[in-house]
Chain A
Amino acid sequence: MQALTTRSKQVSRKPMSIMEKLFLPAIAKGMAVTFSHIFKKQPTIRYPEQKRPFSPVFRGLHVLNRDEEGRERCTACGLCAVACPAEAITMEAAERLPGEENLYREEKYAAKYEINMLRCIFCGLCEEACPKDAIYLSETFAPANFTRKGFIYGKDALLIPDAKQDPEGYAKAIGLNEPTTASPNN
């Protein structure tokens, strides 16, 4: 009969020798092993102080981008919501009024833009679908929250701070403060 697996091993059932019955040599060997671990390097990363680097292709929390003049790029076309396999994105469009040209890049903008971070699977399809380069996945991740509602991120959380007016907030949103395996040049 053919064996069910090639990895089976015959268990030795022979009675223990006197040395084995003493247990002591084996115990001494085991204790030497544990003692040697005192001198080994700990692989622990002490989390809030130390962080593991992200890879440059890490797909984290979304940001809504601005253009060079600090205007919102999103035109509320809805392509990201259509592309989203988890149906995490909802938005409401509004028309740009005269005098708001310094706020919004196009004549139409997203008055409401919400992503449910509990639904989101961080696949990055919204990023690929966006014709205006408005939505990006940063190198940060969603912090913990006490309620489900707290995970529905609105425009106030998603919209990236202006790089010129608030460079610190901009760096934080995009994940520049996080350690990364990417070289600083790219």
Chain B
Amino acid sequence: MALLSIDWLILIEKLILIAIIVFASLGIALYTTFAERKVAAILQDRPGPSRVGPFGLFQPLADGLKLIMKEEIIPNSSSKFLFILGPGLAMTAALMTCAVIPWSSHVEAFGRSIDLQIADINIGILYVFGVVSLGVYGIMIGGWASNNKFSLMAALRGASQAISYELAMGLALIAILMISGSLSLKTIVEQQIGAGHMWNFAYQPLGFLIFFICAMAECNRTPFDLPEAENELNFGYHQEYSSMKLGFYLFAEYVNMIMSSAIMASLYFGGYDIPFFDEKSVAPNIAAILGVAALLTKIVIFIFVFMWIRWTIPRFRYDQLMNLGWKTLIPLALVNMLLTGAFILWQQG
């Protein structure tokens, strides 16, 4: 009888929430591709895409249509199952992260209090790490299955880059966990909102910088986009891909960017917190909507910074990348961890 005692409404509630969040993430990712081209253009004194629809706003739809209509080529010598699995895996791993991000506080509707978070699991950050490490399999499997030496080289690079930067990222995160004492993203965000508590960025500026650089490396964004270094590897791990399979790879990069922006906003910039504003002074539903808007604003700012950096800095060389990861970021993260520990001890003692 234990099965029957489950609150069935919660399943419907969560399903609706999942649908909204996944489609919203995909929609935002669609327009992030447009924003990328527009930002690049404006930073380079160009107008950018402006022909499709008003101000070129339908450009991403045209791009998507083009990708779907293109011929689908699967190389004869490829390992077919893995070749198809690769882009799907990249996309799935990118989207899975959104399950633990607290998008806002709770909404009260139909006599129920609905949390705007798909799953508030108590090891949220560990889950994010697990999924992020899965993301590299998309690159590895795609590069391996293509049976192309350039793709394989790119996949190797991608894997080693992800592994090196995950270390420093995890070390930077430990400092956050030491402050908050919790692995749940919801708890971390609520602590930052609480009275007398500032955003974690104020306590962890160095930690944030390390986390930000590592996030950029994990997303394969310039200056760390070595897996798709055009000049050395032609097109990188997705060289043999065409049509929407290529689209999935390109798209997963943007979804990753959104998710890492959301996680950075949640961990270091108060998540759905609006600065200098007491959420309790308005009705909880309005506060929740304002919270979503605040988080989205923070995400948009982060995405702009990602793009701004991409169109400013040239790509790192491979040895520079490894030097930065192993010889600079990991020691820095360790020092940051030690300092945080010492500070907490001093405060307690």
Contacts and interface: CB of A to CB of B under 8 A. Distances in A.
Contact of A44 (B43, B47, B312): B47
A40 B47 CA distance: 11
A143 interface: no
A53 to B, nearest CB: 20
B42 interface: yes
A30 B44 contact: no
Interface in B302-330: 308-309, 311-313, 324
B197 interface: no
A44 B47 CA distance: 7
Interface in A1-51: 23, 27, 30-31, 33-35, 37-38, 40-44, 46
A34 B46 contact: no
Given A30-B313, A33-B312, A38 B42 contact: yes
A31 B42 contact: no
Contacts of A44: 45-47
Interface residues of A, number: 15
Interface string B184-219: 000000000000000000000000000000000000
A78 B124 CA distance: 87
Contacts of B45: 37, 40-44
B46 A42 contact: yes
Contact of B43 (A27, A37, A43): A37
> Size class of B's contact patch?
10 to 19
Contact of A27 (B44, B50, B313): B313
A31 B309 CA distance: 7
A34 B47 contact: no
Contact of A37 (B42, B309, B324): B42
A43 B69 CA distance: 34
A122 to B, nearest CB: 30
Nearest to A38: B42
Contacts of A42: 45-47
A30 B312 contact: yes
Nearest to A30: B312
A182 B308 CA distance: 43
Interface string B40-57: 001111110010000000
Contacts of B46: 42, 44
A31 B50 CA distance: 25
Contacts of A40: 45
Nearest to B47: A44
Contact of B308 (A23, A31, A41): A31
Nearest to B310: A34
Contacts of B50: 46
Nearest to B309: A31
Nearest to A23: B324
B42 A27 contact: no
Interface in B28-46: 42-46
A35 B304 CA distance: 11
Nearest to A31: B312
A43 B42 CA distance: 11
A31 B311 CA distance: 9
A46 B50 CA distance: 10
Nearest to A35: B308
A38 to B, nearest CB: 6
28 contacts: A23-B324, A27-B309, A27-B312, A27-B313, A30-B312, A31-B308, A31-B309, A31-B312, A33-B312, A34-B43, A34-B308, A34-B311, A35-B308, A37-B42, A37-B43, A37-B44, A37-B45, A38-B43, A40-B45, A42-B45, A42-B46, A42-B47, A43-B45, A44-B45, A44-B46, A44-B47, A46-B47, A46-B50
Interface of B: 42-47, 50, 308-309, 311-313, 324
Given A27-B309, A42-B45, A46-B47, 14 more contacts: A27-B312, A31-B309, A33-B312, A34-B308, A34-B311, A37-B42, A37-B44, A38-B42, A38-B43, A40-B45, A42-B47, A43-B45, A44-B46, A44-B47
Interface of A: 23, 27, 30-31, 33-35, 37-38, 40-44, 46
